[in-house]
C-alpha cells in the first residue's frame, strides 16, 4: 500500500484542510493518508484550541487514515526543527509522498533546498547583524543569491520540509508535492466575504471570542462546529497561563531559569527583570517588551511556554535521540497499512501508553499533557488524562 503524508496542526480543522486531504489523494493516488499532527501545543508556542484527541477524531472523519502525534520536542520549535522531526517520522512510517500547501506552489522546493545549502556553505558568516533575526538575514541571502523570497509562512515551511529531506537523505524515498494555498491567507484575522475557506487564525479568533458561530459554519465541518459552539478547550495563554508564567519567574533565580530549554544568551535575566518591572502588564504588552529585533515573536512565545511547562534541554535531547511513533487514531484502511508495515519499523509504534513509556520515551509529552489538562475547562479535567489510559481512536465507517 502507498502512503501520502501530511504535516498538520488542525488548529482548528477547517475546509482548507479537507481540500488539502482531497488534493493529496488525487495527486498521489495513495492508498492511505497519514497526518503527522502536533499534539496539545502548536509551533508558535501556544496551547491548541482543542485537544489532540478531538482534532484527531475530526481528521479521521474527514479522510485521514492514520493520525500520528508529532512529539512536543519537534512540534514547538522553529520551522527547520519542526519540519525535520515531522519528515523523519513520516519517513519511518513509510510515506512515499509529502503534500503541503504553499503560497508559491510553482517553486521547485527540492531544487531550492539543494541550492540554498550550497549558498549558505559559501556564505557561512551571513548572520552578522544581531539587530535582525536569523530568518530575515537568511531570506535576504536567498533573495540576493537565488532570486527567491521565502517570507510567506507556507512557503517557508515547504522549504523547511525540502531541507529536511536533503538533510535526512530522503530524496529517493519521499516525493514533494506543493499545492496552491486557496482563498484565505495564513495571517488573515477576519473571516472572508464569500467562499468556504477561512484562515485558522480568523477561525480561532471567532471561537475564542465566542461569537459569530453562524458565520463559522460555512468554513468547518459539522463536528468541528459543534466543538466551536462550546468554546475553546483550554483557557487562553494570556490568562491563567500567563499568571503561572509570572509565578514561575518570580519564584525562580536566574540560575534556575537558565536551566529552561533555550532560555540562554542573556534571556533569563531579561525575563526576570521584565516580570519584576511589568507586574501589571497584559500578556501582549509583556510579549512586546520581551521581543527584540534579534528574535521573532514566535520564538519568544515558545520560550514563555517552555518556562511555564518547565521544559529542560535534556528532555528535548532524549526525544531526539530515542524517536517513536505515537498513534492517536486509525481507520480500517489505516490498520491494514500498519499491519503491513509493523515488521519494517525501525522505531517503536506506541498505541497505548504504559508507565514505562511515561518514565521513558514519552516523559516530556506526558508532562506537558498534564499541564494542558490542568489549564483546561472542567469538562476535560474530569476525563481521562491526555496520555495514560487512552487507546487510539478506531474509525471503521465509510468516509463522510
334 is in an annotated binding site: no
9 is in an annotated binding site: yes
138 is in an annotated binding site: no
Please provide the size of the chain in residues.
Answer: 400
Neighbouring-strand partners of residue 8:
37
DSSP string over 166-227: HHTT-TTT-EEEEEEPPSS-TT--S--SSSS---HHHHHHHHHHT--HHHHGGGS-HHHHHH
The total of other beta-carbon atoms located within 10 Å of residue 237's CB is: 20
Phi/psi region, residue 209 (left: phi>0; alpha: psi -120 to 50; beta: rest), is: alpha
16 is in an annotated binding site: yes
Scored b (16 or more CB within 10 A) or e, 334-343 reads bbebbeeeee
DSSP code at position 399 = P
17 is in an annotated binding site: yes
20 is in an annotated binding site: yes
18 is in an annotated binding site: yes
Q: Long-range contacts made by residues 365-370, C-beta under 8 angstroms, separation at least 24?
A: 365/39, 365/69, 365/71, 365/72, 365/326, 367/309, 367/310, 367/315, 368/39, 368/40, 368/41, 368/72, 368/309, 368/311, 369/39, 369/40
**Which residue, among 335, 393, 383, has the nearest Cα to 61 in the 3D structure?**
393
Residue 46 three-state SS: strand
40 is in an annotated binding site: no
**Which residue, among 55, 98, 91, 383, has the nearest Cα to 224 in the 3D structure?**
55
Q: Which H or E run includes 101?
A: strand 97-102
Q: Are strands 46-47 and 41-42 parallel, antiparallel or unpaired?
A: antiparallel
13 is in an annotated binding site: yes
139 is in an annotated binding site: no
19 is in an annotated binding site: yes
294 is in an annotated binding site: no
Binding residues: 7-20, 101, 154, 181
Binding residues for ATP: 7-20, 101, 154, 181
Amino acid at each position: 500500500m502507498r502512503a501520502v503524508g501530511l504535516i498538520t496542526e488542525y488548529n482548528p480543522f477547517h475546509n482548507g484542510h479537507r481540500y488539502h486531504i482531497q488534493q493529496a489523494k488525487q495527486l498521489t493516488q495513495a492508498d492511505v493518508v497519514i497526518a503527522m499532527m502536533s499534539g496539545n501545543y502548536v509551533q508558535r508556542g501556544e496551547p491548541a484550541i482543542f485537544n489532540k484527541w478531538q482534532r484527531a477524531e475530526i481528521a479521521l472523519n474527514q479522510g485521514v487514515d492514520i493520525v500520528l502525534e508529532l512529539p512536543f520536542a519537534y512540534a514547538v520549535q522553529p520551522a527547520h526543527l519542526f519540519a525535520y522531526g515531522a519528515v523523519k517520522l513520516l519517513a519511518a512510517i513509510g510515506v512515499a509522498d509529502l503534500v503541503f500547501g504553499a503560497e508559491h506552489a510553482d517553486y521547485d522546493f527540492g531544487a531550492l533546498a539543494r541550492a540554498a545549502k550550497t549558498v549558505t556553505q559559501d556564505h557561512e558568516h551571513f548572520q552578522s547583524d544581531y539587530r535582525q533575526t536569523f530568518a530575515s538575514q537568511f531570506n535576504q541571502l536567498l533573495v540576493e543569491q537565488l532570486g527567491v523570497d521565502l517570507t510567506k509562512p507556507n512557503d517557508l515551511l515547504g522549504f523547511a520540509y525540502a531541507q529536511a529531506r536533503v538533510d535526512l537523505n530522503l530524496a529517493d524515498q519521499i516525493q514533494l508535492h506543493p499545492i496552491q494555498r486557496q482563498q484565505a491567507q495564513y495571517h488573515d484575522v477576519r473571516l472572508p466575504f464569500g467562499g468556504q475557506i477561512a484562515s485558522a487564525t480568523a477561525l480561532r479568533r471567532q471561537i475564542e471570542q465566542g461569537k459569530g458561530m453562524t458565520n463559522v459554519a460555512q468554513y468547518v465541518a459539522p463536528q468541528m462546529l459543534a466543538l466551536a459552539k462550546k468554546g475553546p478547550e483550554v483557557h487562553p495563554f494570556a490568562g491563567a497561563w500567563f499568571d503561572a508564567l509570572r509565578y514561575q519567574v518570580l519564584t525562580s533565580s536566574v540560575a534556575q531559569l537558565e536551566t529552561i530549554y533555550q532560555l540562554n544568551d542573556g534571556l533569563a535575566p531579561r525575563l526576570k527583570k521584565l516580570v519584576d518591572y511589568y507586574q501589571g502588564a497584559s500578556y501582549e504588552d509583556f510579549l512586546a517588551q520581551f521581543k527584540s529585533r534579534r528574535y521573532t515573536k514566535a520564538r519568544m512565545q515558545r520560550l514563555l511556554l517552555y518556562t511555564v511547562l518547565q521544559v529542560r534541554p535534556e528532555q528535548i535531547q532524549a526525544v531526539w535521540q530515542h524517536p517513536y511513533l505515537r498513534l492517536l487514531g486509525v481507520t480500517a484502511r489505516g490498520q491494514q497499512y500498519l499491519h503491513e508495515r509493523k515488521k519494517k519499523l525501525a522505531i517503536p509504534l506506541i498505541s497505548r501508553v504504559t508507565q514505562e513509556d511515561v518514565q521513558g520515551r514519552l516523559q516530556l509529552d506526558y508532562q506537558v499533557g498534564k499541564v494542558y489538562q490542568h489549564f483546561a475547562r472542567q469538562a476535560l479535567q474530569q476525563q481521562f488524562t491526555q496520555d495514560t489510559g487512552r487507546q487510539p481512536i478506531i474509525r471503521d465507517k465509510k468516509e463522510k
